[in-house]
Chain A
């Protein structure tokens, strides 16, 4: 019997997405170690990577990185298919759906900060919609909504500034090279 090999061709795009997803997963794990006063209020550092991917490689790549981030992050944190995983997935999905039209905004007026804030609101919106449909009475969520929205605004702005600064950094830092070393 001859051993059979299944070889999947790996393109440069695949490698790049894997590398960027690893970066996003790393940030997800680092973030999980940060204590949070309210479950669900997180800085969303991985969104920095998603936004950089979106702005440099397009929506498709960003969707891949985001999906891999949610899946692998949950695997590593041991929350796969737990409620937190589904909330995270819903947030990532809505965030991507918001970013798809948002990135078509004229970049002369709308920079990474706009995208980041919109993505953050999308994230929190997606999570709350799912939580409202599935986990919690809507009345309880309404009381928490302002807290989550404030967190989305603040962290969205901070992440947006980080993305803008990373994009403005000189190319010599290696950020825009094909290998995309972590900034």
Chain B
């Protein structure tokens, strides 16, 4: 009888599927569902990542514009000289954050469970 039989292929495919599913589940992090915006360390806005929204946050250098779409959020414009937080692009995963330090504004994505204890700016 053949070494590799029809059912074996099924078992191997099932096993591979299980491995892939586990890897996706364990390593992809959990998708964020809430966004927290801080200015000068104070939370100014906490909102769900469910529908498109725009915020303009005042900071020492000017206005930071934040754009929220279903499932993702980004800093659309910021007066900071190096534009680091803008270049980070869209944030989707729980625990991701974009910090516009010169303007003292931060954008943080949160999921069902916090992925770290605290962030210190």
Interface residues in chain A, defined as those with a beta carbon under 8 Å from any beta carbon in chain B: 105-114, 117-118, 121, 142-146, 149-150, 152-153, 156-157, 160-161, 164-165, 168
Q: How far is the CA of A146 from the CA of B8 in the complex (A)?
A: 21
Interface residues in chain B, defined as those with a beta carbon under 8 Å from any beta carbon in chain A: 1-8, 10-12, 15-16, 18-19, 22-23, 25-27
Question: From DSSP, what is the main secondary structure of chain B's interface residues?
Answer: helix
Q: How far is the CA of A157 from the CA of B7 in the complex (A)?
A: 13
Q: Is the pair B26, A164 in contact by a Cβ cutoff of 8 Å?
A: no
Q: How far is the CA of A168 from the CA of B15 in the complex (A)?
A: 25
Q: Is the pair A110, B11 in contact by a Cβ cutoff of 8 Å?
A: yes
Please name all residues of chain A whose beta carbon is closer than 8 Å to the beta carbon of B22 when the two chains form the complex.
145-146, 149
Q: Is the pair B26, A111 in contact by a Cβ cutoff of 8 Å?
A: no
Q: How far is the CA of A150 from the CA of B5 in the complex (A)?
A: 21
Q: Is the pair A149, B18 in contact by a Cβ cutoff of 8 Å?
A: yes
Within 8 Å by CB of B5, from A110, A143, A145, A168, lies A110
Please name all residues of chain B whose beta carbon is closer than 8 Å to the beta carbon of A107 when the two chains form the complex.
1
Smallest CB-CB separation from B1: which chain A residue? A111
Q: How far is the CB of A125 from chain B (nearest CB, A)?
A: 11
Smallest CB-CB separation from A105: which chain B residue? B7
Q: A149-B18, A168-B3 are in contact. Are A113 and B27 (CB under 8 A)?
A: no
Smallest CB-CB separation from A113: which chain B residue? B8
Interface centre among A112, A145, A168 (most CB of B within 10 A): A145
Please name all residues of chain A whose beta carbon is closer than 8 Å to the beta carbon of B26 when the two chains form the complex.
142-146
